[in-house]
Structure 1
Amino acid sequence: MSEENPKAGVVSSSSHQKRHTHWQLLLQVVFTVGILLWLLHGTHWQTLARRFAELRPFWFLAAVLSYAANLSVSAIRWRIILLAMERSAPMLWLLRLNWVGAYFNQVLPGSVSGDVVRAWYTRHQTHSMPLALAAVFGDRFMGLGALVAIAAVAFLLDGARTGLLPQMGWTIGMLVFAYILIVFLILTPWLNFLEKVAGRLGEKLHDIRLGMGALLRHRLILVGTILLSFVVQFFSILTFWLLAHALGEAPGAVAVWVVWPVVSLFLALPISFAGWGLREGLMVFYLSYLHMGHDQALALSLLLGFTVVLTSLPGALLWIGLHRHHQAPPNLKTPPASR
């Protein structure tokens, strides 16, 4: 009887993962290019070029600063989440990693590539890669929750005008339901059985749920992260509003408080490259029902994407030499006992 070769299994698994990543990247690029070509086909190029040529510098600079504030405040939220897990990392280290993560979210496939990078560089502070992922996941998850709440409340408060948006009520309802379901799955003990039978994957799932559960059960820290999440999303919405004014547009309350939060939520889906194409398609679709022309909506969406890329570029410089400091100020707290 021949013996199994464990190295062959590892190589096969690694090769399979690489092929999966390549196919995912290809599909994202095809989707992004296809949507952009379809949108640009119906675009009046002279009108689009004129809008960018008449860009108001003051409003654009204010939007860049607003997005920079978004990244800065979210680093504070990330540190508070780490404290809930009885872990710690220097504020400047997390701020640097936040910019690095924002940069990699723009240049790597998938919608959370930068989040994985952030977790990788904080694994020494958490003494566990799954706990590092849990902290980053918690940071992202709290931000998405604030967006869901903003869109839902704004939809309920301005029902007359939001009625212009097709199926928006159903869309927001499904987003609220999905978010509550995820919270339930994190807190419920029903998944313990899955953790026990899933082997090493189950151990990682256990650590992630443990970290997220610590956050959701720590009332004081939870309130702080919720408040900071609304501040972070305020800067996201402010960036949208400022860029619209940079193009000479004056979007209504529904566009600012409903459409943009909903579009931002859909950008978390890993179906386009760094959100390009998906953002433009949704913006053109929804804003057309709010009496904004195709060229206007497309120009605004492209400017949003360009602003995110431009503001995230310092992350590339901050990443240089980061591997030499990946054990940046160690966590002084005692690591948890191994199970």
Structure 2
Amino acid sequence: MSAYGVLAVIFCLAVIAGLFVAVDPADVAAAFGNVSAGPVIAGVALVQLQVVLSALRWRFTAARLGHPIPAALAIREYYIASLVNQILPGGMAGDAVRAYRSRTADSWKRPAAAIVLERLSGQLAFFVLAGAGLFAWPVFLAGRLPPGFSRFALICAGVLGAAVCLGLFIARSRLMARYETLRPDLAAVFWNRGAFAIQLGLSMLTVAAYVAVFMIAASATGAPLPPVAAVTVIPLCLMTMLIPAGVGGWGTREAAAAALWPLFGLTSAAGLSASLLYGMISLLGVAPQGLLFLVIAIGRRHDTSRA
């Protein structure tokens, strides 16, 4: 493992260990004592839906770029990529494997572009959900937010908006030139011939499945969340997994849950427990299939090389 990989693992373990010290470990143990098989099975089933929908989104995106992929192959490769993303640092290694394995003899650019745009579609759906949740915060959680939170949020939004505008102004010519190059691909993937509705539908259903697994994990550990959490705290927890500082989102996701759960009158230990169970369900949902497909792929490659 590289030095970055070692540091990422240490970071995850350190954050989770620090959270256990900050909360009462007995509360976490008691929360896991509430977990039964039914919610775990339901969560694992939803993970299968996540993978299949994501694979179909990748297949659709690739087809729009002139790189057709059979549905069964897309699903198989997505299981492998999902497993790799969860066990290796950075959260992108699985996508690199998927790009390498889906390359053609003529070019790797089309397959790589399909993967980048497919992931972009998914991330945009997360941001849309989190953005919608911003309207729910002041309506449903105004009385639970720390004093001055609204003013602080407005200041942060203003600073972020100003920074984005400044960055766009500075890089305007370069971005426009890049956009002109990518515009045909973006139009084909996200707009032409009903692409917007298909991308939006697949991505929002996938995000809904992610949120549902987290809601199930919270309920299974004995601290169910109100429905408004689906568009407020859970999207924020899931978005922390995009930070390429750890392995599979472990650590950053738990820290966010421990910080946000008290907004609903729950303990930080409840947030930590729910996030840990979510991670376990997510890994259990892809590990058996991913390992099986990976072993089959390695065996086929070995047989081909011997031939």
Please name the residue that 2:304 is paired with: none
- Which sections of structure 1, spanning at least 5 residues, go unmatched? 1-20, 196-204, 327-339
TM-score, normalised relative to structure 2 = 0.83
- Alignment partner for residue 140 of structure 1, among 106, 111, 119? 119
Aligned-residue identity in percent: 22
Change (3 A) 1:56 1:229: same
Whether 2:242 is the aligned partner of 1:268: answer yes
Q: Which amino acid aligns with 2:242?
A: A
Please name the residue that 2:295 is paired with: 320
CA distance in 2, matches of 1:220, 1:172: 36
SS of the residue 1:319 aligns to = helix
Q: 1:131 touches 1:207 (CA, 8 Å); kept in 2?
A: no
TM-superposed CA distance for 1:206, in Å, is 9.8
CA distance in 2, matches of 1:136, 1:209: 16
Change (3 A) 1:135 1:172: farther
Q: Which amino acid aligns with 2:55?
A: A
SS of the residue 1:273 aligns to = coil
TM-superposed CA distance for 1:191, in Å, is 4.1
SS of the residue 1:109 aligns to = coil
Q: 2:67 touches 2:111 (CA, 8 Å); kept in 1?
A: no
1:10-35 per-position Cα deviation (integer Å, ceiling 9, x unaligned): xxxxxxxxxxx823223312321221
- Which sections of structure 2, spanning at least 5 residues, go unmatched? 302-307
Please name the residue that 1:190 is paired with: 174
CA distance in 2, matches of 1:122, 1:143: 19
Supply the RMSD in Å over aligned alpha carbons: 3.1
Please name the residue that 2:98 is paired with: 118
CA distance in 2, matches of 1:325, 1:76: 24
TM-superposed CA distance for 1:322, in Å, is 1.4
Q: 1:267 touches 1:279 (CA, 8 Å); kept in 2?
A: yes
SS of the residue 1:249 aligns to = coil
Whether 2:252 is the aligned partner of 1:278: answer yes
**1:31-110 → structure 2 map (5 Å cutoff):** 31-110=11-90
CA distance in 1, matches of 2:22, 2:173: 52
TM-superposed CA distance for 1:157, in Å, is 3.8
TM-superposed CA distance for 1:218, in Å, is 2.4
- Alignment partner for residue 205 of structure 2, among 207, 220, 231? 231
SS of the residue 2:7 aligns to = helix
Please name the residue that 1:12 is paired with: none
CA distance in 2, matches of 1:172, 1:243: 31
Q: 1:155 touches 1:162 (CA, 8 Å); kept in 2?
A: no
TM-superposed CA distance for 1:159, in Å, is 2.1
**1:169-248 → structure 2 map (5 Å cutoff):** 169=153, 190-191=174-175, 211-212=185-186, 214-218=188-192, 220-248=194-222
Whether 2:140 is the aligned partner of 1:161: answer yes
CA distance in 1, matches of 2:94, 2:110: 16
SS of the residue 1:229 aligns to = helix
1:263-299 per-position Cα deviation (integer Å, ceiling 9, x unaligned): 2122112111221111111110111222210211111
Q: 2:217 touches 2:275 (CA, 8 Å); kept in 1?
A: no
Whether 2:263 is the aligned partner of 1:289: answer yes
1:193-221 per-position Cα deviation (integer Å, ceiling 9, x unaligned): 6x7xxxxxxxxx99877644542342512
How many pairs were matched up? 289
TM-score, normalised relative to structure 1 = 0.76
